[in-house]
Amino acid sequence: MSIGTGATESANWQSARKYANCTVPLLVGPQAYRKSTFCRSLLPPELQAYYTDHIDFSNKRDAELALNRFALINMDEFDQNRESQQAFLKHIIQKPVINVRRPHGTATQELRRYASFIGTSNHKDLLTDTSGSRRYIVIYVEGPIDCSPIDYEQLYAQAMHDLYKGERYWFNKEDEEVMTENNQEFQVMPIAEQLFHE
């Protein structure tokens, strides 16, 4: 099985429009552990124009257009997203195509989604959706990340090789249950439950 950001991104870029990469790695750990630097380094220099860490999720139209414009969207400081934005965030993470009307246009145009998401946070209490967290792979960073140069040709060659071999790049129900269980320590406790535990 080949489940990882490279394989999933490659599958997203190569696949038909009915699926989108709806799995988001979240790197959590103290400041100065190079989480954001690592995220930026995932794309090679020639694709850096397709990386962003500046998405305003309150501007829904622009956020949806970013799915077509960028290859990797870093939700830097993920915990800063307001709870009121969680429903839209869940929607946009799993959206395979974007339907937009251009300014002054009359017809709706369907655009392909290319973007995958990644996120960072300095705080552990960041998952607020009480209905589940199967979309997130929360990784606690225990030390500074090694940001040595990446052999991009080898990385993407391996991802494409695995895709062509038919390796599974998606999570099944059992995988999602394990992720949800592992994410429990990063879940924000509802206020009513906090009062009960006091």
Q: 35, 144 in Cβ contact below 8 A?
A: no
d(Cα 49, Cα 190) in Å, to the nearest integer?
39
Across 61-82, average pLDDT? 92
Taking residue 9's Cβ as centre, other Cβ atoms within 10 Å add up to 22
CA angle 172, 173, 179 (to 5 degrees): 90
Q: What integer pLDDT is reported at residue 191 of this predicted model?
A: 55
Across 33-37, average pLDDT? 97
d(Cα 38, Cα 137) in Å, to the nearest integer?
16
Q: What integer pLDDT is reported at residue 3 of this predicted model?
A: 47
pLDDT digits (tens, 9 = 90+) for 96-134: 999 988 778 788 889 999 999 999 999 998 888 777 788
pLDDT higher than 90, residue 15? no
Topology of the domain comprising 5-197: Rossmann fold (3.40.50)
pTM as predicted: 0.84
What is the b/e burial string over 142-156, where b = at least 16 CB atoms within 10 angstroms of the residue's CB? eeebeeeeeebeebb
User: Which of 82-86, 141-145, 159-163 comes out lowest in average pLDDT?
Assistant: 82-86
Across 71-90, average pLDDT? 87
Q: Crossing angle of helices 86-93/60-69, nearest 10°?
A: 20
User: Which of 2-6, 87-91, 176-180 comes out lowest in average pLDDT?
Assistant: 2-6
Q: What integer pLDDT is reported at residue 178 of this predicted model?
A: 92
d(Cα 191, Cα 168) in Å, to the nearest integer?
39
**Confidence category of residue 35, pLDDT binned at 50, 70, 90:** very high
Q: 34, 141 in Cβ contact below 8 A?
A: no
